[in-house]
Amino acid sequence: MQTTIGQIAEFEGIGLHSGAPARLCIHPAAAGAGIRFRRLDVAAEAADIPALWDHVVQTPLCTRLENEHGTSVSTVEHVMAALMGCGIHNALVTVDGPEVPILDGSSISFVRGILTAGLTRLDAPVLALRVLKPVEVARGAARARLSPHDALLIEFDIDFADSAIGVQKKRLNMSNGSFVRELSDSRTFCRKADIDTMLANGLARGGTLDNAVVFDGDKVLSPGGLRHADEAVRHKMLDALGDLALAGAPILGHYEGSRAGHALTNELLRVLFATPGAVEWVECDDRLAAKLPGAGVHWGEIPKVA
Protein backbone atom coordinates (compact mmCIF):
# COMPACT_ATOMS: atom_id res chain seq x y z
CA MET A 1 0.00 0.00 0.00
CA GLN A 2 1.05 3.62 -0.57
CA THR A 3 1.95 5.62 2.52
CA THR A 4 1.97 9.20 3.74
CA ILE A 5 3.28 10.80 6.91
CA GLY A 6 1.04 10.29 9.96
CA GLN A 7 1.01 13.91 11.11
CA ILE A 8 2.81 17.17 10.38
CA ALA A 9 6.56 17.12 10.99
CA GLU A 10 8.30 20.49 11.46
CA PHE A 11 11.94 21.50 10.94
CA GLU A 12 13.80 24.78 11.39
CA GLY A 13 17.33 25.79 10.44
CA ILE A 14 19.16 27.94 7.92
CA GLY A 15 19.65 27.73 4.18
CA LEU A 16 23.09 26.46 3.22
CA HIS A 17 23.56 28.91 0.38
CA SER A 18 21.63 31.93 1.65
CA GLY A 19 22.40 31.67 5.36
CA ALA A 20 18.80 32.85 5.99
CA PRO A 21 16.40 31.22 8.48
CA ALA A 22 14.35 28.45 6.88
CA ARG A 23 11.34 26.49 8.10
CA LEU A 24 9.97 23.33 6.51
CA CYS A 25 6.92 21.19 7.34
CA ILE A 26 5.98 17.79 5.91
CA HIS A 27 2.19 17.31 5.72
CA PRO A 28 0.09 14.21 4.96
CA ALA A 29 -1.22 13.89 1.39
CA ALA A 30 -3.74 11.67 -0.36
CA ALA A 31 -2.94 8.54 -2.35
CA GLY A 32 -1.61 9.37 -5.79
CA ALA A 33 -0.62 12.91 -4.83
CA GLY A 34 3.11 12.18 -4.93
CA ILE A 35 5.57 14.63 -3.37
CA ARG A 36 4.96 18.35 -3.87
CA PHE A 37 6.66 21.43 -2.45
CA ARG A 38 4.73 24.60 -1.61
CA ARG A 39 6.29 28.02 -1.06
CA LEU A 40 4.40 29.87 1.68
CA ASP A 41 5.91 33.25 0.83
CA VAL A 42 4.47 33.55 -2.70
CA ALA A 43 0.95 33.85 -4.11
CA ALA A 44 -1.07 30.62 -3.85
CA GLU A 45 -1.51 30.22 -7.60
CA ALA A 46 2.28 30.18 -8.10
CA ALA A 47 3.29 28.35 -4.92
CA ASP A 48 3.24 24.62 -5.77
CA ILE A 49 6.24 22.84 -7.28
CA PRO A 50 6.06 19.12 -8.18
CA ALA A 51 9.03 17.09 -6.92
CA LEU A 52 9.74 15.68 -10.38
CA TRP A 53 12.80 15.33 -12.59
CA ASP A 54 11.44 17.59 -15.34
CA HIS A 55 11.14 20.50 -12.88
CA VAL A 56 14.86 20.45 -12.02
CA VAL A 57 16.90 23.45 -13.19
CA GLN A 58 20.67 23.26 -13.37
CA THR A 59 22.40 24.99 -10.46
CA PRO A 60 25.79 24.41 -8.83
CA LEU A 61 26.09 22.48 -5.56
CA CYS A 62 22.45 21.41 -5.03
CA THR A 63 19.19 20.34 -6.65
CA ARG A 64 16.67 23.11 -7.38
CA LEU A 65 13.08 22.63 -8.51
CA GLU A 66 11.14 25.29 -10.41
CA ASN A 67 7.55 25.52 -11.64
CA GLU A 68 6.09 27.21 -14.71
CA HIS A 69 5.68 30.49 -12.78
CA GLY A 70 9.39 30.68 -11.99
CA THR A 71 8.87 29.78 -8.32
CA SER A 72 11.74 27.64 -7.09
CA VAL A 73 12.97 25.74 -4.04
CA SER A 74 16.61 24.71 -3.60
CA THR A 75 18.54 22.00 -1.76
CA VAL A 76 15.68 19.49 -1.88
CA GLU A 77 17.90 16.40 -2.13
CA HIS A 78 18.29 15.60 1.59
CA VAL A 79 14.58 15.77 2.43
CA MET A 80 13.74 13.84 -0.76
CA ALA A 81 16.22 11.12 0.27
CA ALA A 82 14.59 10.94 3.70
CA LEU A 83 11.09 10.65 2.23
CA MET A 84 12.14 7.90 -0.17
CA GLY A 85 14.32 6.17 2.42
CA CYS A 86 11.44 6.09 4.92
CA GLY A 87 8.96 4.79 2.34
CA ILE A 88 6.82 7.96 2.05
CA HIS A 89 5.05 8.05 -1.33
CA ASN A 90 2.79 11.07 -0.83
CA ALA A 91 3.46 14.32 1.05
CA LEU A 92 3.08 18.08 0.84
CA VAL A 93 6.30 19.82 1.85
CA THR A 94 5.85 23.48 2.77
CA VAL A 95 8.76 25.91 3.00
CA ASP A 96 8.71 29.57 4.01
CA GLY A 97 11.37 30.65 1.54
CA PRO A 98 13.45 29.59 -1.46
CA GLU A 99 15.63 27.00 0.29
CA VAL A 100 15.21 23.86 2.41
CA PRO A 101 17.01 24.11 5.77
CA ILE A 102 20.37 22.33 5.73
CA LEU A 103 20.10 21.19 9.39
CA ASP A 104 23.28 19.14 10.11
CA GLY A 105 24.05 18.51 6.42
CA SER A 106 22.59 14.99 6.37
CA SER A 107 19.08 13.49 6.30
CA ILE A 108 19.04 12.22 9.88
CA SER A 109 16.87 15.02 11.33
CA PHE A 110 14.30 14.55 8.57
CA VAL A 111 14.29 10.79 9.21
CA ARG A 112 13.75 11.28 12.95
CA GLY A 113 10.92 13.73 12.30
CA ILE A 114 9.21 11.43 9.79
CA LEU A 115 9.42 8.36 12.04
CA THR A 116 8.24 10.39 15.06
CA ALA A 117 5.21 11.53 13.05
CA GLY A 118 4.61 7.95 11.92
CA LEU A 119 3.41 6.54 8.62
CA THR A 120 -0.19 6.10 7.47
CA ARG A 121 -1.07 3.39 4.98
CA LEU A 122 -3.36 4.48 2.15
CA ASP A 123 -5.82 2.38 0.21
CA ALA A 124 -3.90 2.34 -3.06
CA PRO A 125 -1.19 0.07 -4.48
CA VAL A 126 2.41 1.22 -4.70
CA LEU A 127 3.68 1.93 -8.19
CA ALA A 128 7.36 1.60 -9.09
CA LEU A 129 9.51 2.26 -12.13
CA ARG A 130 11.31 -0.84 -13.43
CA VAL A 131 14.41 -0.21 -15.55
CA LEU A 132 14.30 -2.47 -18.61
CA LYS A 133 17.53 -1.64 -20.40
CA PRO A 134 20.72 0.28 -19.58
CA VAL A 135 21.04 4.03 -20.02
CA GLU A 136 24.18 6.03 -19.30
CA VAL A 137 25.42 9.64 -19.32
CA ALA A 138 28.89 11.10 -18.88
CA ARG A 139 30.60 14.46 -18.50
CA GLY A 140 34.36 14.23 -18.63
CA ALA A 141 35.49 11.75 -15.97
CA ALA A 142 32.03 11.70 -14.33
CA ARG A 143 29.57 8.95 -15.25
CA ALA A 144 26.10 7.80 -14.18
CA ARG A 145 24.29 4.67 -15.34
CA LEU A 146 21.03 2.82 -14.70
CA SER A 147 20.57 -0.83 -15.61
CA PRO A 148 17.99 -3.53 -14.77
CA HIS A 149 17.85 -4.97 -11.24
CA ASP A 150 15.07 -6.44 -9.08
CA ALA A 151 15.51 -3.78 -6.34
CA LEU A 152 17.19 -0.38 -6.07
CA LEU A 153 20.93 -0.94 -5.92
CA ILE A 154 23.17 2.12 -5.56
CA GLU A 155 26.89 1.92 -6.31
CA PHE A 156 29.19 4.93 -6.12
CA ASP A 157 32.87 5.79 -6.31
CA ILE A 158 34.74 9.05 -5.72
CA ASP A 159 38.36 10.12 -6.10
CA PHE A 160 39.70 13.27 -4.42
CA ALA A 161 43.25 14.57 -4.13
CA ASP A 162 42.75 15.32 -0.43
CA SER A 163 44.18 12.31 1.39
CA ALA A 164 41.47 12.54 4.07
CA ILE A 165 39.00 11.59 1.30
CA GLY A 166 41.02 9.82 -1.38
CA VAL A 167 39.38 6.97 -3.30
CA GLN A 168 36.16 5.59 -1.81
CA LYS A 169 33.73 3.01 -3.19
CA LYS A 170 30.48 1.62 -1.80
CA ARG A 171 27.56 -0.52 -3.00
CA LEU A 172 24.26 -0.94 -1.15
CA ASN A 173 20.92 -2.58 -1.81
CA MET A 174 18.45 0.11 -0.72
CA SER A 175 15.66 -2.32 0.24
CA ASN A 176 13.87 -1.93 3.58
CA GLY A 177 15.69 0.31 6.07
CA SER A 178 19.11 0.26 4.41
CA PHE A 179 19.07 4.01 3.76
CA VAL A 180 18.22 4.83 7.37
CA ARG A 181 20.85 2.47 8.79
CA GLU A 182 23.70 3.12 6.38
CA LEU A 183 23.36 6.55 4.79
CA SER A 184 20.96 8.89 6.56
CA ASP A 185 23.49 10.40 9.00
CA SER A 186 26.23 11.06 6.41
CA ARG A 187 26.83 14.78 5.96
CA THR A 188 27.54 16.93 2.94
CA PHE A 189 31.24 17.59 2.55
CA CYS A 190 33.64 19.98 0.87
CA ARG A 191 37.28 20.96 0.76
CA LYS A 192 38.43 24.09 2.58
CA ALA A 193 39.83 25.50 -0.66
CA ASP A 194 36.37 25.13 -2.24
CA ILE A 195 34.72 26.91 0.69
CA ASP A 196 37.05 29.87 0.29
CA THR A 197 36.16 30.07 -3.40
CA MET A 198 32.41 29.72 -2.77
CA LEU A 199 32.37 32.40 -0.09
CA ALA A 200 34.29 34.73 -2.38
CA ASN A 201 31.52 34.22 -4.95
CA GLY A 202 28.65 34.71 -2.49
CA LEU A 203 27.80 31.00 -2.21
CA ALA A 204 27.44 28.70 0.83
CA ARG A 205 26.90 31.68 3.15
CA GLY A 206 25.16 29.38 5.63
CA GLY A 207 27.90 26.76 5.62
CA THR A 208 29.57 26.01 8.95
CA LEU A 209 31.59 23.21 10.52
CA ASP A 210 28.31 22.10 12.14
CA ASN A 211 26.44 21.42 8.88
CA ALA A 212 29.18 20.07 6.62
CA VAL A 213 32.31 17.96 6.84
CA VAL A 214 35.24 20.14 5.81
CA PHE A 215 38.45 18.51 4.58
CA ASP A 216 41.84 20.18 4.26
CA GLY A 217 44.42 17.82 2.81
CA ASP A 218 44.86 15.06 5.38
CA LYS A 219 42.77 16.84 8.04
CA VAL A 220 39.08 16.76 8.97
CA LEU A 221 38.31 20.22 10.32
CA SER A 222 34.77 19.52 11.57
CA PRO A 223 34.42 18.97 15.35
CA GLY A 224 34.13 15.30 16.28
CA GLY A 225 35.61 14.10 13.01
CA LEU A 226 33.82 11.63 10.75
CA ARG A 227 30.71 9.58 11.51
CA HIS A 228 31.97 6.90 9.10
CA ALA A 229 35.44 6.37 7.65
CA ASP A 230 33.77 6.55 4.22
CA GLU A 231 31.25 9.27 5.09
CA ALA A 232 32.01 11.17 1.88
CA VAL A 233 30.94 8.41 -0.51
CA ARG A 234 27.97 7.58 1.71
CA HIS A 235 26.77 11.16 1.39
CA LYS A 236 27.12 11.00 -2.40
CA MET A 237 24.87 7.92 -2.29
CA LEU A 238 22.40 9.83 -0.09
CA ASP A 239 22.33 12.63 -2.67
CA ALA A 240 21.84 10.10 -5.46
CA LEU A 241 18.82 8.58 -3.72
CA GLY A 242 17.31 12.04 -3.22
CA ASP A 243 17.81 12.92 -6.87
CA LEU A 244 16.49 9.54 -8.07
CA ALA A 245 13.37 10.10 -5.91
CA LEU A 246 12.49 12.86 -8.39
CA ALA A 247 11.59 10.09 -10.87
CA GLY A 248 8.17 10.24 -9.20
CA ALA A 249 8.21 6.68 -7.84
CA PRO A 250 10.68 4.17 -6.40
CA ILE A 251 13.08 2.84 -9.02
CA LEU A 252 13.83 -0.85 -9.50
CA GLY A 253 17.27 -0.72 -11.06
CA HIS A 254 21.02 -0.57 -10.52
CA TYR A 255 22.36 3.00 -10.27
CA GLU A 256 26.11 3.42 -10.75
CA GLY A 257 27.70 6.81 -10.11
CA SER A 258 31.36 7.60 -10.67
CA ARG A 259 32.29 11.15 -9.60
CA ALA A 260 28.69 12.01 -10.45
CA GLY A 261 26.73 14.93 -9.01
CA HIS A 262 23.18 16.27 -8.92
CA ALA A 263 23.16 17.53 -12.51
CA LEU A 264 24.40 14.25 -13.97
CA THR A 265 21.85 12.15 -12.06
CA ASN A 266 19.08 14.42 -13.32
CA GLU A 267 20.43 14.13 -16.86
CA LEU A 268 20.35 10.35 -16.43
CA LEU A 269 16.64 10.46 -15.51
CA ARG A 270 15.94 12.63 -18.55
CA VAL A 271 17.66 10.08 -20.79
CA LEU A 272 15.84 7.20 -19.06
CA PHE A 273 12.41 8.68 -19.76
CA ALA A 274 13.37 9.78 -23.29
CA THR A 275 14.64 6.32 -24.32
CA PRO A 276 11.88 4.12 -25.80
CA GLY A 277 11.47 0.87 -23.88
CA ALA A 278 13.96 1.78 -21.14
CA VAL A 279 11.49 1.87 -18.25
CA GLU A 280 7.99 0.70 -17.34
CA TRP A 281 5.49 1.37 -14.56
CA VAL A 282 4.68 -1.66 -12.40
CA GLU A 283 2.11 -2.19 -9.67
CA CYS A 284 3.87 -3.73 -6.68
CA ASP A 285 2.52 -6.84 -5.00
CA ASP A 286 3.54 -7.54 -1.40
CA ARG A 287 6.72 -9.35 -2.48
CA LEU A 288 7.90 -6.49 -4.67
CA ALA A 289 6.81 -3.78 -2.22
CA ALA A 290 8.97 -5.42 0.46
CA LYS A 291 12.05 -4.68 -1.68
CA LEU A 292 11.42 -0.94 -1.89
CA PRO A 293 13.36 1.67 0.11
CA GLY A 294 11.79 2.24 3.52
CA ALA A 295 9.60 -0.85 3.61
CA GLY A 296 9.24 -1.81 7.26
CA VAL A 297 11.69 0.84 8.53
CA HIS A 298 11.59 1.47 12.29
CA TRP A 299 13.22 3.56 15.03
CA GLY A 300 15.77 0.89 15.90
CA GLU A 301 17.47 1.42 12.53
CA ILE A 302 18.32 5.07 13.15
CA PRO A 303 22.07 5.52 13.74
CA LYS A 304 23.16 7.00 17.04
CA VAL A 305 24.62 10.43 16.18
CA ALA A 306 26.55 12.39 18.77
The domain that holds 26 is classified in CATH as 3.30.230.20
Q: Which residues sit opposite 156 in a β-bridge?
A: 170, 257
Total structural domains in the chain?
A: 2
Beta strands in the chain (DSSP E): 3-5, 9-14, 21-27, 35-39, 48-50, 56-57, 64-66, 72-74, 91-95, 119-121, 127-131, 135-139, 142-147, 152-159, 167-173, 189-191, 213-216, 219-220, 251-258, 279-283
Q: Say whether both 52 and 8 belong to one domain.
A: yes
Note the pLDDT of residue 65: 98
Written as tens digits, the pLDDT of the chain (306 aa) is 999 999 999 999 998 877 789 999 999 999 999 999 999 999 999 999 999 999 999 887 899 999 999 999 999 999 999 999 999 999 999 999 999 999 999 999 999 999 999 999 999 999 999 999 999 999 999 999 999 999 999 999 999 988 889 999 999 999 988 999 999 999 999 887 777 666 666 665 556 667 789 888 889 988 889 999 999 999 999 999 999 999 999 999 999 999 999 999 999 999 999 999 999 999 999 999 999 999 988 888 888 754
Q: Does 24 fall in a domain?
A: yes
Note the pLDDT of residue 226: 94
Q: Say whether both 166 and 110 belong to one domain.
A: no
Q: Say whether both 103 and 213 belong to one domain.
A: no
Taking the model in full, what pTM does it have? Answer: 0.95
Q: Say whether both 286 and 213 belong to one domain.
A: yes
Q: Say whether both 145 and 107 belong to one domain.
A: no
Q: Does 179 fall in a domain?
A: yes
Q: Say whether both 140 and 116 belong to one domain.
A: no
Q: Say whether both 272 and 151 belong to one domain.
A: yes
Note the pLDDT of residue 207: 61
Q: Does 249 fall in a domain?
A: yes
* Residue-number span of the structural domain to which 71 is assigned: 3-121
Residue 231, phi then psi, degrees to nearest 5: -60, -35
Q: Does 306 fall in a domain?
A: no
Active-site positions read: 262
Q: Say whether both 98 and 136 belong to one domain.
A: no
Contacts of 121 (CB under 8 A, 6+ apart): 1, 2, 3
Q: Say whether both 90 and 177 belong to one domain.
A: no
| Strand 167-173, strand 189-191: pairing | unpaired
Q: Say whether both 170 and 246 belong to one domain.
A: yes
